[in-house]
Structure 1
């Protein structure tokens, strides 16, 4: 464990040195990400200019869900920036370099593609939650802090499991896949109440691609949404996280064993 912690620290140092060289690029990336999140929030606010509720959810509740959604999403973005894996590591053959080193191959790939500016999205999400928490008059207890940590960790693991599985498809296919951008768009459905979707979409977002567990379901615990059963279902968030991370790592390890190098 000490070796892996030290390896992470060294990668962080190298990242900081690179960003200090191109500081403006760093802040442009942060600003663009925050503007993107602001547009999504504005969209929610505009929707509620035309309706009093969305599937039985008030404006403050939906904004609270969106704030929670941003927290694990930002943390996931820091450590699991796998968008260019196929092109860089399979097509260009950099996976060969990774496999010659003693550290676990996936860990190396994740460290090489870290995106620390994503943490600002999590901070903004936490601020949005705090404001909505106050507007809703929700009680605050020490247990809420613990559950927030547990739910956030579970949501990050769900993200990780799904995207590691999809990234590993590159080991089984000779061509880069366009599934990741599609999945990125699908995950955004998790920031809205699942009750607004039909039964098929609800089942998909809850059990097959459980993006509801990275947003609306764990957020329902704090909102005490007992009438639709989501607050009770929220306790499954860490369980779903462990299950899907296990699936992701299994698919990845099988894929690595199939990898035969970039060739000529």
Structure 2
């Protein structure tokens, strides 16, 4: 473990130096992400100018859910975004062969090979929304609540990672599963809204099949007293552990089935 921490630190420093060589691009990436997320928040704000609540959920409760989603997504987006490139930049052109001959875990190499600055934009907007919404909610931030919140954010990031890793691993059989990854990732937008506004089918899929519900709504509901979902929300860390385990098992299965495109 210590060896991989040291290796990642060297990868991390190298990626930061590369980003700093193109500082304008770095700032544009962060700013564009903030603008994109800001337009989504603006849309919700416009809707709530005409209504008081959506299925019992107020504007600031919705913003709190959104903040949890952004903070969890920022972890995955910043440190694990290179999984999106697995098929197109590694398997299809034959670059994955180079990774396999190194005496280092293949997944570690793919993950450490990129640092995505756009994720910093998600982190910034998530923090802004969090600190804007919480003063309007009846949340008492003691030490236990802060620890639980950090656990929930980390669990959210792990679930985002697990879903992407699972569908990225399909590239070992399909060469490039990017279209599937993109289609699945779009469904995560549903998790930024209360689950009880959707039908039973959507709630079932987002809770038990593609567990995006545990990336935003359920973790946020843990801190809202009258949400009625605390019994489900408390299982968020378990959902994260199960999800990443299943995804990593599929990754290992894909490695054993991998055939170089150069053959």
TM-score scaled to structure 1, two decimals? 0.95
User: Within 1, Cα distance between the matches of 2:163 and 2:176?
Assistant: 20
Alignment of 1:24-43 (within 5 A): 24-43=24-43
Tell me the equivalent position of 1:71: 71
Tell me the equivalent position of 1:62: 62
Alignment of 1:208-247 (within 5 A): 208-226=209-227, 229-247=228-246
CA, structure 1 residues 15+42, in 2 after alignment: closer, same or farther (shift >3 Å)?
same
More displaced stretch, 12-21 vs 64-73: 12-21
Is the Cα contact below 8 Å between 1:158 and 1:214 reproduced in 2? Answer: yes
Is the Cα contact below 8 Å between 1:96 and 1:262 reproduced in 2? Answer: no
User: Within 1, Cα distance between the matches of 2:84 and 2:167?
Assistant: 10
CA, structure 1 residues 6+116, in 2 after alignment: closer, same or farther (shift >3 Å)?
farther
Unaligned runs of 5+ in 1: none
User: Within 2, Cα distance between the matches of 1:113 and 1:257?
Assistant: 24
CA RMSD of the aligned region, Å?
A: 1.4
Shift of residue 79, structure 1, vs aligned partner? 1.6
User: Within 1, Cα distance between the matches of 2:138 and 2:259?
Assistant: 58
Shift of residue 116, structure 1, vs aligned partner? 4.1
Shift of residue 232, structure 1, vs aligned partner? 1.9
Is the Cα contact below 8 Å between 2:86 and 2:176 reproduced in 1? Answer: no
Secondary structure of the residue aligned to 2:55 is coil
Unaligned runs of 5+ in 2: none
User: Within 2, Cα distance between the matches of 1:128 and 1:174?
Assistant: 39
Is the Cα contact below 8 Å between 1:165 and 1:249 reproduced in 2? Answer: yes
User: Within 1, Cα distance between the matches of 2:42 and 2:222?
Assistant: 25
Is the Cα contact below 8 Å between 2:72 and 2:156 reproduced in 1? Answer: yes
Is the Cα contact below 8 Å between 2:79 and 2:112 reproduced in 1? Answer: yes
Runs of 4+ that moved beyond 2 A = 174-177
Tell me the equivalent position of 2:260: 261
User: Within 2, Cα distance between the matches of 1:87 and 1:79?
Assistant: 19
Secondary structure of the residue aligned to 1:51 is coil
Tell me the equivalent position of 2:116: 115
Is the Cα contact below 8 Å between 1:70 and 1:121 reproduced in 2? Answer: yes
TM-score scaled to structure 2, two decimals? 0.95
Shift of residue 224, structure 1, vs aligned partner? 1.8
User: Within 1, Cα distance between the matches of 2:257 and 2:55?
Assistant: 46
